[in-house]
Structures are given as structure tokens and as C-alpha cells.
Amino acid sequence: MPGSNGYDTYINVGRNNPDNWTTFNGHIGDVFLYKSALSDAERQQLETFLETHLANAALNPDLNGDGDVDAEDLKRLTEKWLWTGIPGSIDEDIVIDGIVDFYDLAILAENWMK
Ligand SMILES: [Ca+2]
Ligand SMILES: [Ca+2]
Ligand SMILES: [Ca+2]
């Protein structure tokens, strides 16, 4: 973004009016703007890169760190259910998007008893 202060400029994702749709309430690390439409091949290449990159991010459903995923971890997650915060600030926010919700529960369930 132009300017020396990064906070002077911002991009809204989503909208608030007039139909009460909400804006994106989170943090975006990188935004790429392209001057022209990407070809299908370019888009697929980008998607593959992002999927690979995101797959490598640590999703750790073992919330109490005892080496398994079981009712103890589920209890911790439910205790923080729908908590929100800066992504990365809540251990129970397994899919690090700033809210403890079904996506986090899904990762826990996928890894149940593993
Ligand atoms: Ca555990
Ligand atoms: Ca355990
Ligand atoms: Ca989450």
C-alpha cells in the first residue's frame, strides 16, 4: 500500500450496508492485486501453492499437549466455545482464524483418539 504508515490505508472485505452483511472480521496477512484476470492455469497454480502452504501450517488439536486427542481436549475446546481474539492468541482456536468454532471442532474430531 502507498504511504509510509500502513494504517493510513486499508481494504474493507465485505460490506456493512445497506443489507447488514458483515465485513470480514479478522486479519489478512497478504493481499495480491492483479491488473488483469488470471488464466485458469495461473489461478490453479496459485491455489495449489496456497493449499500446500496452508496444509503445512500446524493445526494442533492436542490442546493439553499430552500426545492424544480425546475428551480432555474436547472439554478445553468447549470451555472456549465461540471465544474470539487475535488469531494465534487462543490455543483452542485450532484453525487459527480468531474464533473457536465448528472448524476447530472439525479438526479435533478428525483427529479423535489419534
Ligand atoms: Ca490431548
Ligand atoms: Ca488425553
Ligand atoms: Ca478457529
Q: What pLDDT does residue 56 have?
A: 54
Residue with cell string 484476470: 37
- 106 pLDDT more than 80: yes
Q: 84 alpha carbon to ligand 3 midpoint, in Å?
A: 8
Ligand nearest to the CA of 90: 3
Q: What percent of the chain has pLDDT over 90?
A: 43
Q: 54 alpha carbon to ligand 2 midpoint, in Å?
A: 26
C-beta pairs of 73-79 under 8 Å, 24+ apart in sequence = 73/108, 74/108, 77/104, 77/105, 77/108
Write down how long the chain is: 114
What average pLDDT is seen over the chain?
A: 81
**What is the rounded distance in angstroms from the CA atom of residue 44 to the CA atom of residue 52?**
12
Average pLDDT of 3-22? 61
Q: 72 alpha carbon to ligand 1 midpoint, in Å?
A: 6
Average pLDDT of 59-70? 94
Q: What pLDDT does residue 39 have?
A: 93
Q: 88 alpha carbon to ligand 1 midpoint, in Å?
A: 18
**What is the rounded distance in angstroms from the CA atom of residue 87 to the CA atom of residue 94?**
10
- pTM value is 0.53
> How confident is the model over 90-102, as pLDDT tens digits?
999 998 888 999 9
